[in-house]
C-alpha cells in the first residue's frame, strides 16, 4: 500500500484527529493508501529528547528527503519556555521520570539537560520538515464560499489614530545588516572579540547575512512609543513572535516589559535578582517566582498600579482576568495578532474590555513595514469588503532553513561589548560589527538550490494563474540586494513570456497588492520565509476569516510532498472549551484540503484510477461541505468538529457510490445509504455528548483511549465507518 504520514501534534487539531483519522483511513484504504501517524507533538518530542520515546521528528526529516515522501503536517505548538515547563510537569505527573527544566543551569549536568530540552523550544519542527518552498493560496471553492458568506470586518473610524511603530536607522536588524554570497563551500566562524561563538559549514553560492539589534536603542525606541501613545491617546501593544524566533524575540519582549514597568523593576531590583526573575518569560512567570514571598502582594499591586494608571493604556490578552499583553512572551504572536488589529478596525481591548484604537509596536522593521502599510492603507482607504476583495497567493522561500527562521543556532545575546566577526576558513573577514553588551546578533542563511527552486515555483504559479508576480525584495536591504542578483539570473533561464514579474520593496509591494485586492484582483506575492508567515496569516484572515482555510502545499525538493494545514496555529482556546463542555469548534477544512492534495499527488505518481476516483470524491465532499455550510458552530449544543467529519464522510461516500468506478461504487453504496438514513440519529448521539466536562487524561499528552472516546461518541457512526 502507498503511505501518507499524518502528524500527531497538539491541542485542537490533535483532538480532531481522533475523530477524523478513522474516517480517512476507511476511505483511503479502499484505494490502497494507508494513513499512519507520527508523533511530533511537544510531549512526544520532549520524551524523545530524554530518550523515553522514538525520535519521530528525525525520522520525518529523512522522509522529506525521499522522492515518495508524503506528509500531512498539522499545526504543532512552537513552545515557549513556559509551555515546555508545563508539558514537563504534566509528563512527570503521568509517571515519566524526566528532570525539571533547568532555567538557570548551575553545573555541567544541568547544562546537558537544558541542551536536550532546548531542542523542543520554538520552531523545532518546521525547519526539519520544510525541505521545499511554499505554495500557499485560497482554494477556489473556499474563496467563493467566503465571498458568498462574508464574515464581518469592523470599520476604521473616519479619523482613525491607529498606527504601527517600528525601529529605523542603525539600531535594528534592517539598518545593521551586511550580506555576502559565498564563492565556494567552506567553514565559516562567528566570533566575538576573537572568541568563537559558532562555526558553520557554508555552501557554494550560499547567501550569509549578519546583523544586530542595539539593546540600548531598542529600549529608547520602546520608551518613545510609550510616550507617543500617551500623547496620541492610543492603547499600547507589542507584537513579536517569541515562538518561531525563540532566541531574539523573547529578549525584545523582556526589554519592553522592563521599560513599560520601569518603576516596578527599579523598586524591586534586589528582590527580582534574588528570585532570578527573567523578564523574557513575562509577568505570569514573575508571579510564579514571587509566590509565597513576603513582598508578593506588594509586587502584584505595583504591576497593577501601572496598568490601572492608563498612562498609556495597555492591550489585554484577557480583560476579565486582568491579563495584559505582557503575561507571557508566547501569548501575543504577531502573525495572528496583527490581522486581528486590522480586522477590528485598528483596535485592541483595554482593561475594561473596550475596543480602543492602538499603536502596534513591532521593533523589527524588516517585516514591520508590511504591517505598518496594512494599517495605514485601512486608515486611508477604509476597511476591506470581503464579498469583493481579491486574493493574495504566496510563494515563500523556506526550504533548508532559509533566512531568519533558520537562525536559532546563530543568534546570540552578546555577553560583552566589542567586535563580532564572520571569518572565512582562510582568515578573511567577510563581515564585522561593532556591538555593545546585550545586543542581539544573528546570522541567517539562504542556500542557492532553494532560491533557484523558489524562482521556478513563482514563475510556474504565474503561468497557471496569469496574474502579476511580485518579488518582495528591497534593493536597499543588504540581504535582499544579494537575492535580487540571483532572482534576475535565474529568471533568464525560465519561460516568462507574457508574465508580469516585478521586484518591489515591502512597502511598495504591500501598496500594489492592496490596491489590486480592493479592485477584486489577485496577485502572487513571492517572499522570504518571515514575510511568507506574516502574509499568509494576514490576507487569509481578512479574506476567509481564518488562515486555517489556506491551502498550503510544499513541493519537496526531493520530489515528494508536504501538505500543511491550519496555518493559524493549534487553537488552545478551542481545547479549553472542549474540556469544559465537550464542544470542539476547530474547523478541519484545512485537513480536508490537504488530504485531497496528498491523494492527488499519489494518484498522479501511480497513475491509479482508484486513487483518482477517491480524490475526486473528496473534492466533491469538500465542495458540498462548503456549499451546505457544515463548518463547526462556536456554540455548545450545536454541531461541532465531530459533526463536520460526519458530513464529509457522508458526502464522500455519496460521491463514490454515484461515481464511475464500479468497484468503489459497489463498496460505498451501502455506506452512503447508511450514513444518509442514520443522519438524525448520528447527530443526536454527537450532540448528546456535549454540555459536560471531558477528561482526556492530559493536555499535552492525552490518554489515547480517553480522547478517542470523547471524540467518537456516536456508536452508530463508529459502526458504519469501522465496517468499511
Write the CB contacts of 329 (distance below 8 Å, at least 6 apart in sequence).
Answer: 80, 82, 240, 242, 249, 250, 253, 254, 280, 281, 282
For residues 480 and 207, what is the distance between their CA atoms, to the nearest angstrom?
A: 10
pLDDT of res. 330:
83
What CA–CA distance (Å, rounded) separates 364 from 83?
Answer: 25
Q: Which of 501, 494, 492 is nearest to 467 (CA)?
A: 501
**The C-alpha cell of 683 is what?**
447527530
Residue 391 has pLDDT above 80, yes or no: yes
- 4-43: b (≥16 Cβ within 10 Å) or e: bbbbbbbbbbbbbbbbbbbbbbbbbebbebebeebbbbbb
**pLDDT value, residue 24:** 98
Answer yes or no: is pLDDT of 717 > 60. yes
Q: What is the pLDDT of residues 471-484, one digit of tens each?
A: 999 999 999 999 99
Nearest to 354 by CA among 393, 307, 315: 315
Strands (E), 9-124: 33-39, 70-73
Query: Residue 589 has what pLDDT?
Result: 93
pLDDT digit string, tens, across residues 578-628: 999 999 999 999 999 999 999 999 999 899 999 999 999 999 999 999 999
- Supply the pLDDT for residue 572: 86
Nearest by Cα to 541 from 316, 268, 317, 339? 339
Secondary structure, 3-state, 359-370: EEECCCHHHHHH
CB atoms within 10 A of CB 269: 11
Q: What pLDDT does 568 receive?
A: 54
Band (pLDDT 50/70/90 cuts) for residue 380 is very high
Beta strands 418-424 and 186-192: pairing type? antiparallel
Q: Are 348 and 236 in contact (CB under 8 A)?
A: no
Cell of 269: 531590583
Q: Answer whether residue 567 shows pLDDT above 90.
A: no
Q: What digits encode the pLDDT tens for the residues 279-294?
A: 999 999 999 999 999 9
Q: Does the pLDDT value for residue 399 go beyond 80?
A: yes
For the chain, the distance separating the N- and C-terminal CA atoms, rounded to the nearest angstrom, is: 17
Q: What is the pLDDT of residue 331?
A: 84
The predicted model gives 11-31 an average pLDDT of 96
- The mean predicted confidence, pLDDT, of the chain is 95
Q: Which three cell numbers, joined as nine digits, stand for 222?
A: 520602546
Q: Write the pLDDT tens digit of every residue in 488-538.
A: 999 999 999 999 999 999 999 999 999 999 999 999 999 999 999 999 999
Report how far Cα 385 is from the mean position of its chain's Cα atoms: 25
Q: What tens digit of pLDDT does each residue of 449-471 get?
A: 999 999 999 999 999 999 999 99
Residue with cell 531590583: 269
The predicted-structure confidence for 93-123, as pLDDT tens digits, reads as follows 999 999 999 999 999 999 999 999 999 998 8
Per-residue pLDDT of 420-440, as tens digits, reads 999 999 999 999 999 999 999
Q: Tell me the C-alpha to C-alpha distance, in Å, between residue 492 and each of 486, 488, 489.
A: 10, 7, 6
Q: Enumerate the β-bridge partners of residue 138.
A: 550
Beta strands in 645-706 (DSSP E): none
pLDDT of residue 406: 80
Percent of the chain with pLDDT over 70: 99
Q: For residue range 632-658, what is the model confidence (pLDDT) as tens digits? A: 999 999 999 999 999 999 999 999 999
How far apart are alpha carbons 356 and 347 in whole angstroms? 5
**Residue 143: is its pLDDT beyond 60?**
yes
- What local confidence, expressed as pLDDT, does residue 569 receive? 63
Alpha-carbon separation of residue 649 from 195, 595, 642, 657 (angstroms): 61, 13, 11, 12
Please tell me the predicted confidence (pLDDT) of residue 570.
Answer: 65
Instruction: Return d(Cα 462, Cα 319) in angstroms, integer.
Output: 45
Report if pTM > 0.75: yes
Asked if 40 and 7 count as a contact pair (C-beta separation under 8 A), the reply is yes
Strand partners, 195: 192
The closest alpha carbon to 338, from 319, 320, 315, belongs to 315
CA distance 588 to 19: 11
Amino acid at each position: 500500500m502507498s503511505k501518507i504520514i499524518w502528524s500527531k501534534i497538539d491541542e485542537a487539531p490533535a483532538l480532531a484527529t481522533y475523530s477524523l483519522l478513522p474516517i480517512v483511513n476507511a476511505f483511503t484504504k479502499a484505494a490502497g493508501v494507508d494513513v499512519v501517524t507520527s508523533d511530533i507533538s511537544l510531549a512526544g518530542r520532549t520524551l524523545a529528547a530524554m530518550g523515553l520515546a522514538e525520535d519521530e521528528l528525525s525520522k520525518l526529516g529523512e522522509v522529506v528527503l525521499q522522492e515518495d515522501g508524503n506528509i500531512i503536517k498539522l499545526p504543532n505548538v512552537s513552545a515557549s519556555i513556559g509551555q515546555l515547563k508545563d508539558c514537563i510537569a504534566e509528563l512527570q505527573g503521568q509517571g515519566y521520570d524526566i528532570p525539571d527544566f533547568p532555567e538557570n543551569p548551575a553545573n555541567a549536568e544541568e547544562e546537558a539537560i537544558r541542551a536536550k530540552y532546548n531542542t523542543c523550544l520554538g520552531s523545532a519542527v518546521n525547519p526539519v520538515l520544510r525541505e521545499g518552498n511554499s505554495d500557499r493560496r485560497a482554494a477556489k471553492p473556499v474563496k467563493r464560499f467566503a465571498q458568498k458568506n462574508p464574515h464581518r470586518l469592523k470599520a476604521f473610524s473616519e479619523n482613525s489614530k491607529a498606527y504601527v511603530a517600528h525601529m529605523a536607522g542603525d539600531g535594528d536588524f534592517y539598518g545593521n545588516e551586511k550580506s555576502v554570497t559565498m564563492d565556494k563551500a567552506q567553514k565559516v566562524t562567528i566570533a566575538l572579540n576573537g572568541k568563537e561563538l559558532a562555526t558553520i559549514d557554508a555552501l557554494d553560492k550560499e547567501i550569509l547575512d549578519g546583523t544586530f539589534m542595539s539593546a540600548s536603542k531598542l529600549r529608547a525606541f520602546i520608551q518613545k512609543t510609550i510616550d507617543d501613545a500617551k500623547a496620541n491617546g492610543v492603547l499600547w501593544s507589542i507584537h513579536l513572535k517569541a515562538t518561531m524566533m525563540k532566541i531574539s524575540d523573547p529578549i525584545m519582549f523582556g526589554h519592553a516589559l522592563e521599560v513599560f514597568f520601569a518603576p516596578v523593576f527599579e523598586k524591586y531590583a534586589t528582590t527580582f535578582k534574588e528570585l532570578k526573575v527573567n523578564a523574557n518569560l513575562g509577568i505570569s512567570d514573575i508571579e510564579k517566582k514571587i509566590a509565597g514571598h513576603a513582598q508578593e502582594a506588594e509586587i502584584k499591586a505595583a504591576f497593577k498600579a501601572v496598568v490601572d494608571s492608563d498612562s498609556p493604556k495597555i492591550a489585554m490578552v484577557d480583560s476579565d482576568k486582568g491579563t495584559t499583553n505582557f503575561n507571557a512572551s508566547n501569548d501575543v504572536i504577531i502573525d495572528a495578532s496583527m490581522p486581528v488589529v486590522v480586522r477590528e478596525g485598528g483596535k485592541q481591548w483595554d482593561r475594561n474590555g473596550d475596543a480602543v484604537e492602538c499603536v502596534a509596536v513591532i521593533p523589527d522593521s524588516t517585516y514591520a513595514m508590511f504591517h505598518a502599510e496594512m494599517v495605514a492603507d485601512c486608515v486611508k482607504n477604509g476597511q476591506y469588503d470581503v464579498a469583493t476583495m481579491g486574493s493574495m497567493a504566496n510563494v515563500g522561500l523556506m526550504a533548508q532553513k532559509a533566512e531568519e527562521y533558520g537562525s536559532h543556532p546563530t543568534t546570540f545575546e552578546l555577553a560583552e561589548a566589542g567586535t563580532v566577526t564572520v571569518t572565512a576558513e582562510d582568515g578573511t573577514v567577510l563581515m564585522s560589527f561593532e556591538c555593545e553588551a546585550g545586543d542581539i546578533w544573528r546570522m541567517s542563511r539562504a542556500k542557492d538550490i532553494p532560491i533557484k527552486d523558489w524562482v521556478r515555483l513563482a514563475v510556474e504559479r504565474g503561468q497557471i494563474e496569469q496574474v502579476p508576480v511580485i518579488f518582495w525584495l528591497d534593493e536597499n536591504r543588504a540581504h535582499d540586494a544579494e537575492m535580487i542578483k540571483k532572482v534576475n539570473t535565474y529568471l533568464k533561464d525560465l519561460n516568462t513570456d507574457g508574465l508580469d514579474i516585478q521586484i518591489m520593496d515591502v512597502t511598495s509591494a504591500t501598496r500594489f497588492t492592496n490596491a489590486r485586492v480592493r479592485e477584486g484582483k489577485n496577485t502572487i506575492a513571492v517572499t522570504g520565509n518571515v514575510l511568507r508567515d506574516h502574509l499568509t496569516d494576514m490576507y487569509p484572515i481578512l479574506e476567509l476569516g481564518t488562515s486555517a482555510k489556506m491551502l498550503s502545499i510544499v513541493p519537496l525538493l526531493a520530489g515528494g510532498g508536504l501538505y500543511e494545514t491550519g496555518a493559524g496555529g493549534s487553537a488552545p482556546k478551542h481545547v479549553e472549551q472542549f474540556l469544559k463542555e465537550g464542544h470542539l469548534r476547530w474547523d478541519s477544512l484545512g485537513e480536508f484540503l490537504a488530504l485531497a492534495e496528498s491523494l492527488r499527488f499519489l494518484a498522479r505518481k501511480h497513475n491509479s484510477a482508484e486513487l483518482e476516483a477517491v480524490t475526486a470524491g473528496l473534492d466533491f465532499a469538500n465542495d458540498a461541505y462548503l456549499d451546505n455550510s457544515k463548518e463547526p458552530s462556536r456554540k455548545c449544543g450545536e454541531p461541532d468538529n465531530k459533526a463536520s467529519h460526519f458530513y464529509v464522510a457522508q458526502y464522500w461516500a455519496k460521491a463514490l457510490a454515484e461515481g464511475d468506478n464500479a468497484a468503489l461504487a459497489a463498496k460505498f453504496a451501502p455506506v452512503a445509504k447508511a450514513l444518509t438514513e442514520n443522519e438524525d440519529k448520528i447527530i443526536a448521539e454527537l450532540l448528546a455528548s456535549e454540555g459536560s466536562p471531558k477528561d482526556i487524561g492530559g493536555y499535552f499528552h492525552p490518554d489515547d483511549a480517553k480522547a478517542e472516546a470523547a471524540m467518537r461518541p456516536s456508536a452508530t457512526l463508529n459502526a458504519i465507518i469501522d465496517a468499511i
